[in-house]
Chains A and B, each alone.
Chain A
Amino acid sequence: MDSRRDFLKKGILFALGSVALRNVSFAEESNVIDFKDYPKMVKYPGKTSLIMYSDRPPLLETPRSYFASAVTPNEAFFVRWHLANIPTEVNLKEWRLNITGNVKKPVSLSLDDLKSMFEPVSYYAVLQCSGNGRSFFENKQTPLGIQWKYGAMGNALWTGVRLADVLNYAGVKGDSVEVAFAGLDKAPYPETPNVERALPVDKCLYENLILAYEMNGEPISLLNGFPLRLIVPGWYATHWIKSVTNITVLNTELKNFWMEKAYHIPDNACHCVQPGEKPKKARMITEMNVKSVIGTPDDNTVVRVGEVVKIAGVAFDQGFGIKEVLISFDGGKTWKETGLGPDLGRYSFREWFYYFRPTTKGNIKVMVRAVNKNGETQPMEAGWNPGGYMWNGIDSVTIKVV
């Protein structure tokens, strides 16, 4: 019998075994997930109650109410992994960041080396899954993928070292074209392509990417990519490789499933096609688009006539910075300016707020749209694409005035 088939058989036996075991050891009501109460709110170690879409691999979404504040707490920060064998134990005595490939001197650095040999830098940056808001495409057609709502995003203060400093320490050779990043996560089945992604070498050497070891002043949690995470400010999370361990400088383009097929968007101005259609030409997803989310009040909040209600949320874009956030109470006919919170940097969430005093009874639909400093505005509805990426339609909540 060949080894592949042998492995497969063992894998099936193992899967069956674990299914049977689970029924015995996790019989309590709280561990049961029924279709009708999916997705369920659950607590993972180090996390508060989050919306859980999967436990293998863990997929956890931040509830919308956290987006009333510019900084997302670590315990509420969303979790997304592609492959089920995620790193659950890291020994820093053994862990090394390896930089190899098209370099003058391959290097292997401990976390202490990184902290002591290079200048630390910090900035706020929004981490957002490419598919955040995918479920809102449902009015046209639900794309395949995790049905995220608002919270496959968060904003944190990232602290680490400049990627360029580390690469220059190894000495990037002149004919290099890309830099590839791989983490500790592995697929349960060995032929599944592990996550390895590359970025253009000039982006890595001349822009503001960092290798972060801290998130909001604490070590990055295992669920969010301990001990080191690549920060690509302004770009979608797919590029922010977690638990980065191997960096390979390349003199050819990296070719694999993750680079050639995954996370591709229609290569046209709206990044969109007719629902159900395939794009004629596609390209890798890169920069985020301008977006705002209402964090408070909750949808269908009841307010009395004359009572003041604070409407607040966050807005962000790909790094131009937020110019203004507009609010409408009449279905988008007229728009008013909201107040903006402190500017925490061009890659950060920007808080916005509006104090509203309803004067008549009835349901009021509150709509919000952000404009960035490059003049880009959120569309009324996001353009459909097969991956369900880049959703940035106008957010709304209903306030019930009684």
Chain B
Amino acid sequence: MKKLLAVSLIALSVSFAKAQENKDVYKIDLPSYDWKMKDGKYKEVFEQNCLMCHSPGYVFGQAKGKSGKDMWRTVVYQMINEFKAPISKENAEKIIEYLNENYTNKN
């Protein structure tokens, strides 16, 4: 009987310690979404080079606006020069072409 009590006390304290541990851990499961990008030439170059760091939402938002001339060139080179995206010049031109063809905004 004493043994049983001791065992259950240990079990109780272990589970209490676990609860304490969990109380200190804050977690969140982030949802992710299936972005439907337009099919087109060099779409895969865009996907391989851009989606590692951010969602296509950045493209959708800008494409809905009325931006200046050569907007996608500015954006892609900003990614390379400021955010250090490892994109070759050749691929940069392909990405710009894909975006210009498929996501040119109202301007």
Which residues from chain A contact B60 at a C-beta distance below 8 Å? 33, 35, 38-39
Q: Which of A's residues lie within 8 Å of B, judged by CB?
A: 4, 8, 11-12, 14-16, 19, 22-23, 26-27, 31-35, 38-39, 42, 44-46, 52-59, 83-84, 86, 88-93, 135, 138, 141-144, 146-147, 187-189, 191-193, 219, 221-223, 226-227, 257, 261-262, 275-276
Query: Interface residues of B: mostly helix, strand, loop or mixed?
Result: loop
Other than A14-B52, A54-B58, A88-B29, give 11 A-B pairs with Cβ distance below 8 A. Answer: A11-B52, A15-B52, A38-B61, A54-B54, A135-B65, A141-B107, A142-B62, A142-B65, A142-B67, A191-B84, A219-B26
The answer to whether the Cβ of B14 comes within 8 Å of any Cβ in the partner chain is no
Query: Are A26 and B57 touching (Cβ within 8 A)?
Result: no
Cβ-defined partner of B25 (8 Å) among A44, A84, A89, A142: A89
Closest 5 CB pairs of A and B: A142-B65, A54-B57, A191-B84, A92-B24, A38-B60
Contact present for A8 and B31 (CB under 8 Å)? no
- Number of A-B residue pairs, CB cutoff 8 Å, is 158
How long is the Cα–Cα vector from A83 to B85 in the complex, in angstroms?
A: 13
Which residues of chain A are near B105, meaning CB under 8 Å? Answer: 142
Q: Which residues of chain B from 47 to 103 have any CB-CB distance to chain A below 8 Å in the complex?
A: 47-49, 51-58, 60-68, 71, 74-75, 78, 82-86
CB neighbours of B75 from chain A (8 A): 144
Q: What is the CA–CA distance of A275 and B67 in the complex, to the nearest angstrom?
A: 10
Cβ contacts under 8 Å, A138 to chain B? 65-66
> Do B31 and A189 touch across chains, with their CB atoms under 8 A apart?
no
> Inside 8 A of A56's CB, which chain B residues have their CB?
32, 54-55
CB-defined contacts of A54 to chain B, threshold 8 Å: 54-55, 57-58, 61
A32 B34 Cβ-Cβ under 8 A: yes
Query: Among B28, B47, B51, which residue has its beta carbon within 8 angstroms of that of A222?
Result: B28
A275 / chain B contacts, CB cutoff of 8 Å: 68
Is B57 in contact with A12, judged by CB distance below 8 angstroms?
Answer: no
Q: Are A144 and B57 interface neighbours, CB within 8 A?
A: no
**Judging by beta carbons under 8 Å apart, are A144 and B28 in contact?**
no
B25, A91: Cβ atoms closer than 8 Å: yes
Assess the B28–A88 pair: CB atoms within 8 A: yes
Q: Which of A14, A34, A45 lies in contact with B28, CB distance below 8 A?
A: A45
